[in-house]
Amino acid sequence: MKLTNQLYLFNDDVEKLAFGSKFTKESILFESFKNNINLKDKQRNRDLYGNNHNIKSEVNFRKLKSRVGKKVLATYIISELDNLNFTLENFRKSYFFFYSLAKLFWDKDLDSTISILEKLFKISFKYKFCLQCRDLALDLHNIFTSYKPVSKKEIFYLNQVLIWKEQCDYYYEIELFRLELLKHLYGEIKEIDKELLSQYNSRVKVLKEKMIHLLDIEIYETAIDIICFVYGHLRDYNGIIQQIGDFSKFCESYKFYNKGIVWTINYNLLLAHVNLRQYDEANINLVNLYASLTKGRRFWLLIKGIEFNLLIKTVRYKDAYSVAGEVYEITTKLDNIDSTMWQMKLAYITLIHEVLKFDIIATDFKLPDFDLKKFIKRTKPLTQDKSGYNLNIKIIKILYSLVHNEIDTAYDEIEYFNVYKNKYIKKDENPRSRLFIAMLLSAAQSGFHPVRTSAHVKKTYDKLSKTEFVTSSEYVNNEIIPYEFLWEVIMMQLEKNRKL
Express each pLDDT in 316-329 by its tens digit. 888 888 898 888 88
Task: Express the helix, strand and coil content of the chain in percent, nearest 5 each.
Answer: 75, 0, 25
Boundaries of every domain in the chain: 1-83, 294-375, 380-500
Report the distance separating Cα 244 and Cα 428, nearest Å.
29
User: Residues 396, 344: contact at Cβ < 8 Å?
Assistant: yes
Report the distance separating Cα 27 and Cα 423, nearest Å.
83
Average pLDDT over the chain, rounded to whole? Answer: 82
Report the distance separating Cα 296 and Cα 331, nearest Å.
8
- Percent of the chain residues topping a pLDDT of 90: 35
Report the distance separating Cα 260 and Cα 264, nearest Å.
6
Q: Work out the pLDDT band at 482, boundaries 50, 70, 90.
A: confident
DSSP run (H or E) holding 153: helix 152-185
Q: How many CB atoms lie within 10 A of CB 20?
A: 11
Residue/partner pairs of 406-412 with CB below 8 Å, 24 or more apart: 407/448, 407/497, 410/444, 410/448, 411/444
pLDDT for 267 beyond 70: yes
Report the distance separating Cα 256 and Cα 91, nearest Å.
13
pLDDT tens per residue, range 166-189: 999 999 999 999 888 887 766 555
Task: State pTM to two decimals.
Answer: 0.74
Report the distance separating Cα 493 and Cα 477, nearest Å.
25
